[in-house]
Amino acid sequence: MPPKINPRFVEKVLVAFIREELGKCGCRRGILGLSGGLDSSVCAALGARALGPKNVLGLIMPYGGGFPEDVRDAANLARRLGIRQAVIDISPQIDVYFAAHPTDSRVQRGNKMARERMSILYDYSAREGSFILGTSNKTELLIGYGTIHGDMACAINPMGDLYKTQVRELAAHLRIPAAIRKKAPTAGLWAGQTDEGEIGLSYEELDEILFGLVEGRMSRSEAVAAGHAPAAVDRVLRKIKASEFKRRMPPIAKLSPRSVGHDFLYPYDWGK
Amino acid sequence: MNIVIAQIAPKLGDVAANLETHLDLLEKARKKKAGLVVFPELGLTGYTLKDLVEEVALDPRSDPRFAKFVAKTKGLSAVVGFVEESPAEKGLFYNSAAFVADGRIVHVHRKVYLPTNGLFEEAKFFAQGREFRAFDTPFGRVGLLICRDFLHYGASYVHYASGADMIVCISSAPGRGVGGGDAFETGRMWELMGEAVSYFSSAFVVYANRVGVEDGVTFAGGSFVFAPGGRLAGRAAAVDPDFAVLPVDLAAVGRARRNWLFKRDEKPEVIWRSLERIVRASED
């Protein structure tokens, strides 16, 4: 397992991170999508502490009447944290699109919905003058379990260096309600979907393999010798490699002596 | 003597703003009767500069902004970190530290060990310093180091061998590891070295780190002073800005060297000959 975190210290670092990175841009407001799941709940709690609850807007964006429990959990969490909330049903625009361009692919429909939510978040961030707080955790980022330009899109990401099992530790410390902490993690792309069912590994096992490969710098054979099933290690390695494109800006064809992305190199916080 | 550690969060790429902070804190330190004020690595510029190095570089001996800092050190000493470009070496940028005392630049150290791995990319943007040289100051002999220099213990040895009573290391060390107490786990690495070097060099070790966040990286703070013999004279806050006023007794160096005769019995000529043999052999 990834090592236990000191959640009190992690909270302090992440709250300072949100406050400073937004503050540099003269911004005090954050916005995020609330799914009723663990990651967005933790992120909302961190945002509320960093910026003040009234400066955080949680958008709950269900598809029609689906997942009513998650909508309720998200709304309850927002109330509990004292952050502002709004519910936007994304089914009208999704239905219009798929009526014209039908598909049987659940993944394609799910990705389209994730990108619709992204589009609404960016529109609202412009209306509000707020920054989007990202909710992708380290486990998801490493195996690419997210929609590029969808739920992975954000201005800053306070969660991205915490494995899922570490997010759970932080959630308990932040007193996220048990109803949210105990539910099976899901991307919510279709009914009955669970992360662990789709990935084929429990988060405990997945995190242990990832931690060995990433922080432990283990080779495949070392990970297997550490007691993991070869098929599981191979699946994780495949997922990591296949999703590198989601963690990077797209390559730019180099022509000139000094090119964007190659040798025109400035800090993200440039001029802020 | 009071040592002040100004554990600040510099503004990235903004020399004017950082200079103001430095001048204000020099004044504040003067009121606290500081003999030495230490600012962090690249305190005048911020750390994650990349291609900004050329925009923030200055020549400490001719730059009017730097002259303001130097003029403010009447009656005390200060260590300040900046990007150096000298007229003799145009286009070469050094990660430098200046020891300034009583309105005069006493010494400029250019960082020798430029970490370039993982999240570090200093050698992509900086030229490498080529020596460690201790120097005399109003309160004793001092050796300067910059961040990673300190983790290569041969660097401290050179200062020790040249008679330094105090080793001052300025730093922009990012924090890593959150499984420990209320500080980053990497803080232990710096304190371990500080304690050991102060113990076996019977010298003061002053470590001034920065705080704040740049491009998602949090700088760990946790600056400290060890008196000779590994005695912690005080430490600054972890992660948070601090202005630590730490009184020290400079006579502790002499006392430590009477108790523990490491310095008297040191044999730099043996070390030198041994190193020379190793270097020669590796070149053959």
A49 near A35, Cβ under 8 Å? Answer: no
Considering Cα of B71, then B75, then B76, then B77, what sign does the dihedral take?
positive
Model pLDDT, residue A79: 98
Give CA–CA dist B75/B254, Å, rounded.
24
CATH number, domain of B130, equals 3.60.110.10
C-alpha pair distances (Å), B139 with each of B39, B75, B102: 18, 12, 12
Task: Give the one of B50, B183, B212 whose C-beta lies nearest to A20's C-beta.
Answer: B212
The reply to whether A158 falls in a domain is yes
Nearest Cα neighbor of B38 from B274, B208, B175 is B208
Q: Is residue A272 part of a domain?
A: no
Q: What pLDDT, on a 0 to 100 scale, did the predictor assign at position A3?
A: 84
Nearest-by-Cβ selection for A271 from B13, B48, B214: B13
3-class secondary structure, B37? strand
CA–CA distance from B165 to each of A221, B156, B159 (Å)?
51, 11, 9
CB B224 within 8 A of CB B248: no
| pLDDT of the residue at A41 | 98
**DSSP code for A106:** H
Rounded to whole angstroms, the Cα distance separating B152 from A62 reads 56
Per-residue pLDDT of B257-275, as tens digits, reads: 999 999 999 999 999 999 9
Structure tokens at A243: 């999703």
> Domain range spanning residue B118?
2-283
Q: What pTM value is reported for the model?
A: 0.95
Residues of B with CB under 8 A from a CB of A: 9, 12-13, 48-52, 124, 175, 178-183, 212-216, 218, 239
User: With contact defined as beta carbons under 8 Å apart, do A114 and A151 qualify?
Assistant: yes
What is the structure's pLDDT at A272? 80
Rounded-to-integer distance, Cα A69 and Cα A64, Å? 13
Residue A262 resides in a domain: no
- Is the predicted pLDDT of residue A99 greater than 80, yes or no? yes
Alpha-carbon distance A108 to nearest alpha carbon in chain B (angstroms): 32
Residue A27 lies in a domain: yes
Share of chain A above pLDDT 70, in %: 100
Residue A22 has pLDDT above 80, yes or no: yes
Letter for the amino acid at A125? S
Domain count, chain B: 1
**Which residue of B49, B180, B239 is in closest CB contact with A16?**
B239
**A150 located within any domain:** yes
Distance CA A130, CA A58 (A): 12
- Roughly how many angstroms between the first and final C-alpha of chain A, as a whole number? 38
CB contact under 8 A, A21 and B239: no
Query: Do residue A10 and residue B178 have CB atoms under 8 angstroms apart?
Result: yes
Per-residue pLDDT, A192: 84
Query: Is pLDDT of B220 > 80?
Result: yes
pLDDT digits (tens, 9 = 90+) for B75-133: 999 999 999 999 999 999 999 999 999 999 999 999 999 999 999 999 999 999 999 99
Q: Give the pair of three-digit tokens for residue B89.
A: 């070496």
What gap in Å lies between CA B166 and CA B156, rounded to an integer? Answer: 10
Query: Does A266 sit within 8 Å of B50, measured CB to CB?
Result: yes
pLDDT for res A250 = 94
A169 occurs within a structural domain: yes
Interface residue of A24, A46, A141, A269 to substitute, partner B, most B CBs within 10 Å = A269
Two tokens, residue B24: 């204000």
Mean pLDDT of B8-30: 98
Q: No. of H helices and E strands in chain B? A: 9, 14
Q: What is the pLDDT of residue A179?
A: 94
Q: How many CB atoms lie within 10 A of CB A271?
A: 11
pLDDT at B284 exceeding the cut of 80: no
A135-164 residues touching B, CB cutoff 8 A? 156
pLDDT of res. B180: 85
Count of domains observed in chain A: 1
What per-residue confidence (pLDDT) applies to B115? 98
The whole-number pLDDT of residue A187 equals 83
Q: Rounded CA gap, B49 and B54, in Å? A: 9
pLDDT at B231: 97
Task: Give the model's pLDDT for residue A269.
Answer: 87
pLDDT tier for residue A20 given thresholds of 50, 70 and 90: very high
Mean pLDDT, chain A, whole residue set:
96
* H helical segments located in chain A: 7-23, 38-51, 68-81, 91-100, 106-128, 138-143, 164-173, 178-181, 195-199, 203-214, 220-225, 230-242
Residue A241: Cβ-neighbour burial (10 angstroms; 0-12, 13-18, 19+): exposed
Q: What is the pLDDT of residues B227-249, one digit of tens each?
A: 999 999 999 999 999 999 999 99
Torsional sign, CA A73, A79, A80, A82: positive
- What pLDDT does residue B274 have? 97
Nearest CA in chain A to B54: A266
Per-residue pLDDT tens over the stretch B152-189: 999 999 999 999 999 999 999 999 999 989 999 999 99
| Nearest-angstrom CA–CA distance, A121 and A57 | 10
d(CA B164, CA B204): 9
Task: Report the C-alpha gap between A11 and B21 in whole angstroms.
Answer: 28
- Contact between A187 and A70 (Cβ < 8 Å): no
Residue A216 domain-assigned? Answer: no
**Residues paired with B34 in a beta bridge:** B2
Determine which helix (DSSP H) or strand (DSSP E) holds B79, and give its type and residue range: strand B77-84
If you average pLDDT over residues A211-219, what whole number do you get? 96
Note the pLDDT tens digit of each residue in A148-187: 999 999 999 999 999 999 999 999 999 999 999 999 998 8
- Do the Cβ atoms of B234 and B207 come closer than 8 Å? no
Which domain does A36 fall in, by range?
7-192
What pLDDT score does A191 carry? 81
**Mean model confidence pLDDT for chain B:** 97
Sheet order of strands, B104-110 included: B104-110, B94-101, B77-84, B34-38, B2-7, B242-247
Sorted by sequence, the CB contacts under 8 Å of residue A29 that are 6+ apart come out as A22, A51, A55, A56, A57, A128, A129, A130, A131
A chain contacts of residue B212, beta-carbon cutoff 8 Å: 20
Residue A18 lies in a domain: yes
Tally Cβ neighbours within 10 Å of residue B199: 19
Nearest-Cα distance to chain B for A73, in Å, is 30
Residue B196: is its pLDDT beyond 80? yes
CATH of the domain at A18: 3.40.50.620
pLDDT digits 0-9 by tens, A238-262: 999 999 999 999 999 999 999 999 9
DSSP string computed for A151-173: TT--SB-SSTTS-HHHHHHHHHH
Question: Which pLDDT does position B237 carry in this prediction?
Answer: 97
Residue reference for tokens 């309720």? A72
CA–CA gap between residue A167 and residue B132 (Å, rounded): 45
Handedness of CA B23, B25, B26, B27 (dihedral sign): positive
